[in-house]
Structure 1
Amino acid sequence: MALPKVICLFDVDGTLTHPRQKIETECMDYLIKLKNRVPLALVGGSDIGKVLEQMDLDLEEACQVFEYVFAENGLFACKKNKVFHSQTIQEVIGEKKLQEFINYCLMYMSKIELPVKRGNFVEFRKGMLNISPIGRSCTYEERREFVSYDEKHKIRENFLNDLRKRFPVDKYGLHMCIGGQISIDVFPVGWDKRFCLQYLVDDGFSEIHFFGDRTLPGGNDHELYEDHRTIGHRVTSPDDTIAQLKALFK
């Protein structure tokens, strides 16, 4: 019997890096060693520019460490330094529904009072919208302040529940979930992080180890973590990721 074709698939924020920070040298050095034993793949919800910024690599360098680089859940897909898939949310949802959704989000957020508000409340990406009540241009300290405030006042949870009622999935075809520390991710149904799995399965990988931190229901790693095609590993930090990898690949 042939041995299974194994690959390790990693989330970015909270898994290989601290939230919105660059990867630490120790973690990258370990991945460079590990890639000689098992193929590696990367999947992030952010656009490719942000993913590469956090990896502190350009695309060519990233493809020397990771056999596959998936941004925006796989809507941007690169293998061995060749982009082989790119698709946009507006092609599926349509401009009318997209504007209706964006306008409602801006109206809702205009009525929220927070300790601080900054800019970039709606970030338009190829495969998703990223909605942030505080604004993605907040500083690291402002981000940490929002995290504490959000845990207490359930700002994103209440916003998410409202959006799900206002934009039912059977009419709008949108999936929504808590994204990272300060935002809500919105994308067409089926475009969560499982989207990237089709490429790994098509290439013959039958043992896909996925490492992610937001694996509970409502988190943006949940569907991929629970998928029957993956072996899910819940992690709490980059250090925990390395510790679990060392235990798995002794």
Structure 2
Amino acid sequence: MPRKILCLFDVDGTLTKPRNVIESDLYTFLLEKVKPHCHLGLVGGSDFKKIAEQMKGEDVIHKFKYVFSENGLVYYRNGKEAGKQSIQKFIGEDKLQNFINYVLKYLSSITLPIKRGTFVEFRNGMLNISPIGRSCSQEEREAFYTYDEEHGIRKTMIEALKKEFPDLDLTYSIGGQISFDVFPNGWDKTYCLKHLQDEGFDEIHFFGDKTDKGGNDYEIYTDKRVIGHKVSGPNDTKIKLTQLFNL
């Protein structure tokens, strides 16, 4: 019997140029040349709306067997929503409020060159915390980044949170210039694999561009349950698929 194979793709930087829409020739190649040889899936850190924008519309859920948005916290199977998880549901409202209250109390106790608004942004799968506030201007953003590099505002705050909440099993990830993300341990892209464990695949091939340690594809790329393929962009993805299936 033929082997049951899934090809699972990161979106941004793998199937599309960063923050762009997938090129028509690659989309056609996936659906007409690759799909006859395997099932197709997407896994991205963005919400479904953003993934759909990059994949030419919401009907992507009918063209790919699986669409895992927010690393699989919200996912679609065979064109229908099949599951949804949230940090609120996972941690519980009481613990979440205690955490947010502590964050706001902590921020009220420190003085920065400037502060603006939106210090805690609640997302489906994480909290995004910004000591300066996300409503700052680009100039203010860059100034804070320079200040933070010298004074370690974010690193110090993370250490305080780890000490205050040792039992919440949270991951703290500094990214960008002004903020850091907080999410439950294991809610990286490997989260989507739990939805596939009973699907009977003989092989799961993952294609991603941020596969080095610290990149958001690293955990799934190195996971023993998948065969990882590091790509440098959409053209390289096409080349590696051509080689994999002798197209």
Q: TM-score range by the shorter chain?
A: 0.7 to 0.9
- Report whether the alignment pairs 1:190 with 2:186: yes
* Secondary structure, counterpart of 1:35 in structure 2: helix
Residue of structure 2 aligned with 1:90, choices 88, 108, 124: 88
Q: CA separation in 1, counterparts of 2:243 and 2:40?
A: 17
User: Which structure 2 residues correspond to residues 204-215 of structure 1 after superposition, within 5 A?
Assistant: 204-215=200-211
**Structure 1: 5+ residue runs without aligned partners?**
none
- Alignment-derived partner of residue 44 in structure 2: 44
Residue of structure 1 aligned with 2:161, choices 163, 166, 180: 166
- Alignment-derived partner of residue 238 in structure 2: 242
- Alignment-derived partner of residue 79 in structure 1: 77
- Answer with 129-138 or 225-234: which moved more: 129-138
- Alignment-derived partner of residue 54 in structure 2: 54
* Secondary structure, counterpart of 1:50 in structure 2: helix
Q: CA separation in 2, counterparts of 1:31 and 1:138?
A: 41
Shift of 1:94: 3.0
Shift of 1:45: 1.1
Shift of 1:132: 6.8
**Structure 2: 5+ residue runs without aligned partners?**
none
Under a length normalisation based on structure 2, what TM-score does the superposition of the two structures give? Answer: 0.76
Partners of 2:15 and 2:234 within 8 A in 1: yes
- Alignment-derived partner of residue 124 in structure 1: 122
* Secondary structure, counterpart of 1:42 in structure 2: strand
- Report whether the alignment pairs 1:66 with 2:64: yes
* Secondary structure, counterpart of 1:176 in structure 2: strand
Shift of 1:74: 0.9
Partners of 1:206 and 1:229 within 8 A in 2: no
Partners of 1:160 and 1:176 within 8 A in 2: no
- Alignment-derived partner of residue 21 in structure 2: 22
Identity of aligned residues (%): 49
Q: CA separation in 1, counterparts of 2:21 and 2:136?
A: 17
Higher-Rg structure is 2
Q: CA separation in 2, counterparts of 1:244 and 1:134?
A: 43
Shift of 1:248: 1.5
Deviations 1:22-80 (A, max 9, x none): 2222221221222122111001111111111121211xx21232100111111111111
Under a length normalisation based on structure 1, what TM-score does the superposition of the two structures give? Answer: 0.75
Deviations 1:127-182 (A, max 9, x none): 2234578988999xx7xx97xx97xx869x98468525632684221123466899
Partners of 1:73 and 1:195 within 8 A in 2: yes
